Amino acid sequence: MALRLGELWESIGCSGDPDLESMVIKEVLVLVEQRAWRLVLAVKQPVPAARLKSLGRQIMERVEGLDAIQFVVQAEDPGSCLSEIVNRDWPEILNALDEADRELVSRARYRVEDEHLILNFDDIASWQQAVDNDVCRRIEKWIHDSYLMSFLVSARHSDHQEYKLTVKSKEELEAVIMPSQPFKRRRREQPRRRSRGRKTEAPAMRINELQEGLDRVAVEGIIIGKKTWKLKDGRTVATYDLTDYSDSITVKLFDDDGFEVGSSVKVWGGVRFDVFEKEPVLFADHMEVIELPARTDSSPVKRVELHLHTTMSTLDGLTHVDELMKRAAEFGHRAVAVTDHGSIQAFPQAAEEAGKYGIKVIYGVEAYLVDEPLQERPYHVILLAASQQGLANLYRLISRSYLNNFYRTPRIIRRELADLREGILVGSACERGEIIQGILKGMADDQLLNIADFYDYLEIQPLENNEFMVRDGIVEDRQALIDINLRVIELGDRLGKPVVATGDVHFLDPHDEIFRRIIQAGKGFADAENQAPLYYRTTEEMLEAFSYLGEDRAWEVVVVNPNAIADRCQEVRPVPQGYYAPIMEGAAEKLTALAWETARQLYKEPLPVQVEERLNRELQSITKHGFSELYLIAHELVKKSNQDGYLVGSRGSVGSSLTAFFTGITEVNPLVPHYRCRCGYSRFFEDGSVLSGVDLPPARCPDCGQELERDGFDIPFETFLGFEGDKVPDIDLNFSGDYQSKAHQYVEELFGKEHVFRAGTISTIAEKTAYGFVKKYEEEMGIRLRRAEIERLVRGITGVKRTTGQHPGGLMIIPGHMDVHQFTPIQYPADDMKSGVRTTHFEYEALSGVLVKLDVLGHDDPTMLKMLEDLTGYKATRISLDEPLTMQLFSGVAPLGVKPEDIRSQVGTYGIPEFNTRFVRQMLEVTRPKTFSELVRISGLSHGTNVWLNNAQDLIKNGIAGLNEVIATRDDIMIYLIQKGLDKKEAFKIMEKVRKGKGLSSEEMEHMRANNVPQWYIDSCNRIEYMFPKAHAVAYVMMAFRIAYYKVHYPLAFYASYFTVRAQDFDEVITAGADAIRRRLDEIEEMGPQAPAKDKNLVPVLEVALEMWVRGFRFFPVDLYRSHASRFEIVPGGLLIPFSALPGVGLAAANNLMEGRNGGPFTSLEDLQRRGRVNKAVIDILDRAGCLKDLPPTDQLSLFAEIADSSK
């Protein structure tokens, strides 16, 4: 039972105080050496700090040897306490501010949300002043100083942009300890690797021994996280997450001395509770780099590990492949096997990482072996590929295990293994293997010999691996485990088969067992806490584990035999080198002829030099490197879709290729902006004065007087195939979601079903999921982990495989003369035998650049344009991309005939892809674009990371650069630098570095300055972390502009298409009118970030619905006889809602209703249920929607009503 403060008060001889009865002592920490107490109090109402300090002084007077008390106050209902403080003490809070800030804050509206006080300012200027003057931090400090309670205070302006108090301001505050002892800061004595103060002679403690209140302590560990910031007084504050693997702690250091993540350090300081970290923190007095001891392998001849699980062993293996290969190299191990449970998905990464260190990878699997039937309990078995043929056979076995033999696990049938055994070494595996299971069952020698004879080598493992058998009563004692291993060795001797010692490795180091423990606890394993030491052992560690065999025999099983097995395994490649495109007779010639034919149709002969030179250069690269087939496949797919009435949008950089434009793969013309005429006239603008051909003013041909075509977006080919033109291209295409399956089927028709597979994906534990695992473990174990330790544990289990899936549109094409198992096994996604889709076992990135990969994606834009064309009869390709009214939509709302305040937006881009989010609408309000090229730049700016925010936005706002000058897409960099005089190759190199967030070298910056590149441009390059390709932006804006055209000129067709195609969330409030929609939007916005995902997803739908109502249209309720199953139908004055828009009515039920009504009006609810083939739940939904009207329950009642009517 919790102790109340009043009880403590009375126990030390003080008279009763009723106010103290409501205060519960949740935690007491006694710091003996410091002669101090720390009391964590839970209170129902705020208690003034002065009252607590008074109580503290009185307690210290009565408790001998007590010199200090720290109170940490926690509210049972934080929101209620904060509301009480603010409502009662608002005048005092204002008085604590200086006069200017007091007047400023007094004009703000304030409200409390949970533990959050929000100040709402009516204008940005007031909000900015509040931010600049740090009023939120000062109000937070006043509340803390007054009540010893911590709450968040933030400021917002009318657009709900929030200024949250950052950690840097919090860090200046410290917990209140009575009597207060000011923390004396000293200047650093050394400029590097050292903080202020002096180190002590204290021996290093383990981090898990640290307690609050300890002073003059020392710890050693590795830095695993770091944050720094500047205080207003110019000082730098750094916090480091430090671990020694017993625990982790945050180290706070005033003045950053350049310690980096990964450094081994020793820290001297004191542990004090930090009220804002809400946990004890080590405040550093001194910190320096040290060398920590590490596990090394000093054996003159090293072992080889033949049984190891990576993170690709589903929710079991914790060995990250990159760390494994680095460690193998550090140990001096020449080879290592990779043998995941039933999976070989680590092979491609293992090959890549091993190549960095010269490590030989032995490719294998720990498979599940069964005799028929499949339902038998499987035995574990190790299969190692000893040759390239063996690898292909292993791939075939893996495919069969997933496609034909899957029962709870992917199983390999013994007779199939026997058929495909060539080139495969078969090992007996662990205690779940057939031999040890036979020994445990007490099989006779002849039986065991017969079983063991099936294997090429036998395995034994350290006794600690199998201690669970003693614990679970399977064997009597440790000696019994030794006897099992001796029996395996005896079998090997009698059969002449090598016996190898393996580790059954699941993690890299002994301390990593915690990661597996957390995952297994999350899966509900009862023995998760009893982890076997399944770490990657050195030769000495392994020899020690088998010392009971004697020196010579231990050396044989640990070193000699594993190395011999490694020697029997040839060097093989899991994925062949090279590029393997399907053979299409005459592909290069066909592609070349098609491209030149189109070029001549558009530009006539003689071709402009800009066209001829560019196309020549591209075709040479494409045909030389074998990419002709990929181009032709994409050409056929797009042509087929267009013939069937669906436009295709391009993604990525394919629009950088003129060949792709001339072969109809993309609509994006990458030439510099230009005019062209059907008579052959052309004029190109190569000086950078025009950013897009669409922006050129309309003009007539000086030769024939016809109106000129305006085209060209100035995109270099290098962004698609690389500077040398040899980078395997990705052609990503957006097909209509309605057409995607037909496109996939067409690819299968072209190449055969056995040569087309969906690209596989691997789903791993994400950081957020890992956090859930760690917090669940913390809760179930009843422990409290520090933040630094939580983050370490989260990182440790992030990336572990959970399941498999399929790329949304990726297709891998196997050449007709080859077999898929020369590249990868195949399986069903997520092991779903009923899916009907076969995917590559390897993730698609592993096969990228080796096989032709088509991204045949399903997208809403082509679907919407098809519906718009059908409804209006106006082809999207006829729309001019500079149509004036449509262009005005991106800078105002006038073309819609509404006022900004009526639709809650300054621009008219609700429902327009790429431009409908609040973030992009705000960009439009700032930039007010007037040209197509500016729209392209906004698209690029909105998709990059640190391209708009913290970069271009500030440059434009401060008048340093205009929208057409800032860096918007990756291609801009190369084009600009070439125009400035840099070499083309260097410009390309800089572009590639910047787009990947790698920044610029000092030499590159100097060269840019020498060519008069302004400093703001260089700084901008260094801030960018990721950039959009220009071709992608152009293709997306083309689609968006066309949809916007229909919105302006065919409003009901636009709204019908939008709600049919994009509005997955539909709320009945949409039918209630504009005012009701505005109220619902206000409700969702008031919830802020805490709004449920369903409400957040509803916002864009509500915004489009609001706009539709304001434009004078309305929604008509579902009608039993007129509504479509899933399509919003245009009716006079508005849209008729379909059946499927009703929550709870699925598409199948909606289609059944449409079909059922073809037989005439329904006579009763009974008739509706029968003919409409819907259940009672759907009928209830229809009834509540008001569309059943006077239908009687049964036909019998209907007959009685007719008789009654006829008798009148």
pLDDT reported for residue 158: 56
pLDDT bucket at 114, cuts 50 / 70 / 90: low
The stretch 833-843 carries a mean pLDDT of 90
* 858 in a structural domain: no
**Is there a single domain that holds both residue 348 and residue 462?**
yes
Please check the confidence at residue 188 and state whether its pLDDT lies above 70. no
pLDDT 10s digits, 710-747: 999 999 888 787 877 777 877 888 888 888 889 889 99
**Is there a single domain that holds both residue 437 and residue 517?**
yes
Judged by average pLDDT, the poorest of 36-50, 772-786, 969-983 is 36-50
**How far apart are alpha carbons 1160 and 1153 in whole angstroms?**
12
pLDDT reported for residue 423: 97
pLDDT reported for residue 1205: 52
| Single-letter code of the amino acid located at 1179 | I
Please check the confidence at residue 232 and state whether its pLDDT lies above 70. no
Q: Distances from the Cα of 116 to the Cαs of 153, 162, 455, 849, 1077, in angstroms?
A: 6, 12, 66, 51, 27
Domain boundary among 60, 75, 90: 75
* 1080 in a structural domain: no
pLDDT reported for residue 31: 67
Going by C-alpha positions, the residue among 82, 78, 77, 55 that lies closest to residue 66 is 55
The stretch 985-995 carries a mean pLDDT of 91
Q: Which residues pair with 36 in a beta bridge?
A: 31, 68
Mean predicted lDDT score pLDDT of the chain: 88
Give the 3-state secondary structure of 490-518.
HHHHHHCCCEEECCCECECCHHHHHHHHH
Please check the confidence at residue 1158 and state whether its pLDDT lies above 70. yes
pLDDT 10s digits, 883-898: 999 999 999 999 999 9
Percent of the chain with pLDDT over 90: 59
**Is there a single domain that holds both residue 963 and residue 1028?**
yes
Residues 6+ apart with CB under 8 A from 710: 673, 674, 675, 693, 694, 695, 696, 698
Domain boundary among 996, 1018, 1048: 1048
* 1193 in a structural domain: yes
**Is there a single domain that holds both residue 394 and residue 543?**
yes
Instruction: Domain of residue 624: give its range.
Output: 587-671+713-733
Domain boundary among 1008, 1025, 1048: 1048
Bigger pLDDT: 279 vs 334:
334
Judged by average pLDDT, the poorest of 123-137, 309-323, 1154-1168 is 123-137
Judged by average pLDDT, the poorest of 33-42, 391-400, 509-518 is 33-42
Please check the confidence at residue 979 and state whether its pLDDT lies above 70. yes
**Is there a single domain that holds both residue 138 and residue 223?**
no
* 852 in a structural domain: no
* 529 in a structural domain: yes
Please check the confidence at residue 235 and state whether its pLDDT lies above 70. no
Please check the confidence at residue 375 and state whether its pLDDT lies above 60. yes
- Please tell me the total count of domains within the chain: 7
Q: Is 1024 helix (H, G, I), strand (E, B) or coil?
A: coil
pLDDT reported for residue 297: 96
**Is there a single domain that holds both residue 166 and residue 218?**
no
Cis preceding linkage at 606, omega within 30: yes
pLDDT 10s digits, 687-703: 888 999 999 999 999 99
* 195 in a structural domain: no
Give buried/exposed letters for 519-549 (b at 16+ CB in 10 A, else e). bbbbeeeeebeebbbbbbbbbebbbebbeeb
Q: Are 276 and 170 in contact (CB under 8 A)?
A: yes
Please check the confidence at residue 679 and state whether its pLDDT lies above 80. yes
Please check the confidence at residue 1044 and state whether its pLDDT lies above 90. yes
Percent of the chain with pLDDT over 70: 92
Please check the confidence at residue 563 and state whether its pLDDT lies above 50. yes
* 726 in a structural domain: yes
* 89 in a structural domain: yes
pLDDT reported for residue 146: 76
**How far apart are alpha carbons 106 and 116 in whole angstroms?**
18
pLDDT reported for residue 692: 95
The stretch 580-592 carries a mean pLDDT of 92
**How far apart are alpha carbons 693 and 675 in whole angstroms?**
7
pLDDT reported for residue 255: 65
Going by C-alpha positions, the residue among 59, 294, 277, 291 that lies closest to residue 179 is 59
Please check the confidence at residue 30 and state whether its pLDDT lies above 60. yes
Going by C-alpha positions, the residue among 519, 661, 680 that lies closest to residue 605 is 680
**Is there a single domain that holds both residue 330 and residue 477?**
yes
Please check the confidence at residue 879 and state whether its pLDDT lies above 90. yes
Bigger pLDDT: 41 vs 581:
581
**Is there a single domain that holds both residue 139 and residue 157?**
yes
User: Two tokens at 874?
Assistant: 């106006």
The stretch 623-643 carries a mean pLDDT of 91
pLDDT 10s digits, 418-443: 999 999 999 999 999 999 999 999 99
Please check the confidence at residue 22 and state whether its pLDDT lies above 80. no
pLDDT reported for residue 148: 73
**Is there a single domain that holds both residue 126 and residue 152?**
yes
**How far apart are alpha carbons 1047 and 893 in whole angstroms?**
12
Please check the confidence at residue 1094 and state whether its pLDDT lies above 90. no
Which of 92-96, 331-335, 809-813, 1024-1028 is the most confident on average?
331-335
pLDDT bucket at 176, cuts 50 / 70 / 90: very low
CATH value at residue 1147 = 1.10.150.870
Angle, CA of 377, 492 and 559, to the nearest 5°: 105
How many CA atoms lie within 13 Å of 800's alpha carbon, on the beta-carbon side?
26
The stretch 12-25 carries a mean pLDDT of 71
pLDDT reported for residue 194: 46
Please check the confidence at residue 182 and state whether its pLDDT lies above 70. no
Rounded to the nearest 10°, the torsion over CA 754, 755, 758, 763 is 90
Bigger pLDDT: 861 vs 548:
548
**Is there a single domain that holds both residue 430 and residue 517?**
yes
User: Two tokens at 95?
Assistant: 């008085």
**Is there a single domain that holds both residue 529 and residue 591?**
no
Q: Are 499 and 458 in contact (CB under 8 A)?
A: yes
**Is there a single domain that holds both residue 414 and residue 544?**
yes
pLDDT bucket at 1200, cuts 50 / 70 / 90: very low
pLDDT reported for residue 19: 66
Please check the confidence at residue 56 and state whether its pLDDT lies above 70. yes
pLDDT reported for residue 172: 35
CATH value at residue 17 = 3.30.300
